[in-house]
Copies of this chain bind each other. A is one copy, B any other.
Amino acid sequence: MESKDEKIKIVRGIPEPTLRRLPVYHQYLRELEQKKVFFISCTAIAADLKLIPIQVRKDIEMTGVVGRPKIGYSVKQIIDGIEEFLGWKKSSEAFLAGAGSLGAAILGYQGFKEYGLDILAAFDNNPAKAGTIIHGRKVYAMEKLPDLIRRMKVKIGIITVPAVSAQKTADIMMDAGISAIWNFAPVKISPFGGVIIQNENLAASLAVLSKKLKVMQAAENIRP
């Protein structure tokens, strides 16, 4: 138990803002790599991504990648370092529940594969959807979900069902032994058995945007 707590403490020790910036570096560095850029300084990264060099350096430090004075970092090493650090090297298999419009968009998005997320299949309680194929992935009836999670030892569940069904769907997944849930429904899922819940809340971003816009417009009204 100590080891687990210790490990969890280590995650706590990584600033979540850093974790959220790592994919931004990753995307940017992959573009650089394609342009045959092999070394880069944190100063240059910061300039391109509109961050500050110190922050970039600290973020990279977290992944364990080291650079060389006057040279910078190896682009490939940072990319590998981020993938290793986040666990993107060995891909995790996932099931998606709720093959509606958002579910279909997620199924169709190729980008997640690069992040080690391999969505195997979708599940829906609408009989009309069961048996169909969306972006190359089969849609099964919800009844098959628990058994398939157990048999295939799938660790990640993605929830794109309506808000009212989200907790129920999560319960089914957690009962069947899933380890982590990525929830797109606008409700807070109550976890049990140490399951990791990542709530994705588009309204949160919209709130930030709305407020900034409101303040900007208020300022314009004062001085047009």
Q: Give residues in A with beta carbon < 8 Å to B.
A: 1, 3-4, 6-8, 10-11, 14, 16, 19-24, 26-27, 49-50, 85-88, 92, 100-102, 104-105, 108-109, 111-112, 115-117, 135, 155-156, 179-180, 182, 186-188, 190, 194, 196, 198, 200-220, 222-223
Contact = CB atoms under 8 A, between A and B. Distances in A.
Nearest to A190: B50
Copies of this chain, whole number? 2
Contacts of A200: 202, 205
Given A104-B101, A219-B4, A222-B3, A85 B208 contact: no
A216 B196 contact: yes
Given A105-B104, A194-B216, A216-B194, A182 B211 contact: no
B211 A156 contact: no
A8 B200 CA distance: 27
A123 B162 CA distance: 27
A208 B198 contact: yes
Nearest to A85: B211
A205 B200 CA distance: 7
A180 B213 contact: yes
A96 to B, nearest CB: 13
Nearest to A200: B205
Contact of A8 (B21, B117, B194, B219): B219
Nearest to A218: B7
Contacts of A11: 211-212, 215
Contacts of A26: 203
